[in-house]
Amino acid sequence: MSDASIALLEVLDRDDHVRHYLPISSWPVRVGRAIDNDLVLDDAHIAAHHFSVDSDEAGVFVRVGETVNGLRADGRHLGAGQRSAVGERPLRLDAGDSHLRLRLLEHALEPELPLRAPRSVWHAAGPTTVAGLLVLASLLFGTWLDQDPDDLTRALASVLVAALTAGVVWCAGWSLVTKIFTRRSRFWWHVRVLLFGVLAIEFAGAAANLLAFSLSWPAISDFGFVYTYAIAAAMLYFHVLALEPRRPQRMRAMAVGMFIAGTSLSLWFNHQNRDQFGEELYMTHLFPPALRVAPAVDTATFVKGLAPLKATLDDKAKKRDSGGGDEAMVDEE
């Protein structure tokens, strides 16, 4: 750009990276599809003379030409003939499927961002390595608890191979999509998102079970799937953020929508299958008695508390017997 330039009109790609720019040394500047414009855009949704940038006593402004689609200036829609002043910051312009940014000489530059280079190999790979080892230990420990000693070796090998294969395929798939859209794979970013997400799910599940047992509040573990969906939605947000780093609000809205949809469906299916919104029919997680915080209940009080359950079970039994009688009548006919 020459010393006489007073502004710069940049053409941006979908990631807001500068694809092309036009140095401006005098006003007005015209933009459109016609070849007599100062900046020619090959976009079927842009008019021959779509808009122009000019100045007067009040300052620099953008004026929309004869177009049916109009122009968006910093998100505000402008119709044909309308104008918008350029403020103290670069002006984002969206015309058709094209994205532009107008920068004036007096616009202040954003401060330089420091490179996020790790201080050492440990700072680069240490957290990921520790998270991977913790996930692996959690999976192997759960397998050791669930399996018989005779089948333990085979089960541990199967879990190890399945976990590594699934993790590599998952992260490689996200990396491929990220590479296609942003030209950077960011493989280790997706690995960290997966590992820390799995650790968070394991920790949330264990904490919910422990609290439910300690406080004798089964609802904490009964609705454990809600915590899982919340963490999965956060994982999805950070995965997709690698694809659209400049649209975090849209990505957050998508993650919240997925969380609400998943939770709602689980609540509906639980109610349809078990006549309750929770997931567990009874608390199945036992911990050492020393961890109990809730006061102990004597046998008489416990049996007395089961009295309301008898009416519910009798009602279900009557409904089942009534259905069986109807089926028998149909068979006899």
pLDDT mean values, one per 10 residues, the chain (333 residues): 79 85 94 96 95 93 95 94 93 94 92 73 75 89 82 87 92 91 86 94 91 88 91 94 82 92 92 84 80 81 76 75 51 43
In sequence order, what are the residues at sequence separation of 6 or more whose Cβ sits closer than 8 angstroms to the Cβ of residue 186? 175, 178, 242
Question: Which residues, including other chains, have CB under 8 Å from residue 227's CB and lie 6 or more apart?
Answer: 201, 204, 205, 208
The answer, as to whether pTM is greater than 0.75, is: no
Looking at residue 326, its pLDDT comes to 47
pLDDT of residue 331: 45
> What is the per-residue pLDDT for 43?
93
All domains in the chain, ordered by first residue = 7-104 (2.60.200.20), 125-274 (no CATH)
CA–CA separation, 204 and 207 (whole Å): 5
Q: What is the pLDDT of residue 121?
A: 59
Angstrom distance (rounded) from CA 47 to CA 32: 6
